[in-house]
Amino acid sequence: MKTVVIGSGSWGTALAQVLCDNNADVMIYGKAESEVEDINKNNQNSAYFGDLKINPGLKATTDFSQVVDSDIYLLAVPSFAIESVCAQINESATKPFLVITTAKGFHPKSFERMSVVIKDSFKDNPKFKEVISLIGPSHAEEVIQRMYTAINAVCENEEYAKEIQHLFSNQYLRVYTNTDVVGAEYGVALKNAIAIASGVISGLGCGDNTKAALLTRGLAEITRFGVACGGKMETYLGLCGLGDLIVTCTSVHSRNYQAGYAIGKADSATEFLATNTKTVEGINTIRAVYHMAKEMNIDMPIINIAYKVLFEGMKPSESLELLMNRKLVAESR
């Protein structure tokens, strides 16, 4: 079974190495010639991992024609690039194939979940079999170093989920199957929004008490929203809920946390939004969930405040005061 990892960035390289460690037939496809050459000639991807050496058996290419006979296409690209990659596969795939996505966000315009976007992209392609989301609490910087990690293979078709589970699992990566696609995808997307808020309170100099309150009430909002959209409550106590929330809200590896930290330090989002060049999935997630929650009448106070900070010019320091001075209520999910 041949797998191509589309995307020569940090996560694509880390997951490709997992497959290479498992003696699977895998190749990375990337557009950045410097990264591809670095992988092939130096056994490293220094743009993301410095001088860390990777499995010498891992190879990469910039020639898409070399991978059109793949059985599995693993999309390790940001949410905004998913549709263009799917179009490329549609034009080129020569045999039946599965798609794996690692994206944790929404379509930038329709606000659809990534598996929905992917299925829609392939709805007229008889070669397309199914999409599996490979998601959960994981940083590429740790997986590339073979640190112990657990994630989910999420698919309504449990047999396909099991196939991917066995393909990726090894002594340092444990993959659990999950058939709650709606719940899992909303969980990993919304935690990016809470991670921005987590970075903000750190940037403002808040302490552990504040962080604990944010994560706990953030999980309540994620659960409330996800269940209203059709997800299962138990999913949010698992790897795609609580697990991903912890790792993203407490780690300096997280771009969403880093973004929030910069905003908190400046007590304003203006400069960050004007100068940022990196993909921060949580920004679009906050925009999407804010509007969806309003339409569905779902109480999302943290998301509402985060939206005001990002898009209406509210100071982060003022936002904390608003959150703390809301009407007093009983704790509930």
Domain limits, the chain = 2-179, 182-324
The answer to whether 203 touches 234, Cβ cutoff 8 Å, is no
Instruction: Provide the pLDDT for residue 333.
Output: 61
**Residue pointed to by tokens 């397309």:** 128
Is-same-fold flag (2-179; 182-324)? no
Token pair in block for residue 61:
């290419």
Q: What is the predicted pLDDT for the residue at 292?
A: 96
Say which DSSP state 139 is in.
-
Do residues 127 and 93 touch, judged by C-beta distance below 8 A? yes
Give the full edge-to-edge strand order of the sheet including 2-6: 60-61, 25-29, 2-6, 72-75, 97-101, 128-135, 149-154, 173-178
Distances (CA, A) of 278 to 5, 254, 259: 21, 12, 9
Q: Mark whether 191 is an active-site residue.
A: yes
How far, in Å, are 144, 290, 329 from residue 307 at the CA level?
Answer: 34, 7, 23
Active-site entry in 109, 119, 191, 232: 191
Number of Cβ within a 10 Å radius of residue 141: 17
pLDDT in tens, the chain (333 residues): 999 999 999 999 999 999 999 999 999 999 999 999 999 999 999 999 999 999 999 999 999 999 999 999 999 998 889 999 999 999 999 999 999 999 988 988 888 999 999 999 999 999 999 999 999 999 999 999 999 999 999 999 999 999 999 999 999 999 999 999 999 999 999 999 999 999 999 999 999 999 999 999 999 999 999 999 999 999 999 999 999 999 999 988 899 999 999 999 999 999 999 999 888 999 999 999 999 999 999 999 999 999 999 999 999 999 999 999 999 999 976
Q: Cα separations (Å) of 175 from 34, 74, 161?
A: 32, 16, 10
DSSP-assigned beta bridge partners for residue 153? 134, 177
pLDDT at 141: 96
Q: Say how many Å lie between the first and final Cα of the chain, rounded.
A: 44
What class, spelled out in words, does domain 2-179 have in CATH? alpha beta
19's tokens: 């497959």
Contacts of 312 (CB under 8 A, 6+ apart): none
CATH architecture assignment, domain 182-324: Orthogonal Bundle (1.10)
Amino acid letter for position 28: I
Q: What's the predicted TM-score (pTM) here?
A: 0.95
Residue 45 has which token pair?
């991807």
Alpha helix segments (H runs only) across 43-180: 46-49, 82-92, 114-121, 140-143, 158-168
The CA R_g of the chain, rounded to the nearest whole Å, is 20
How high is the pLDDT of residue 112? 93
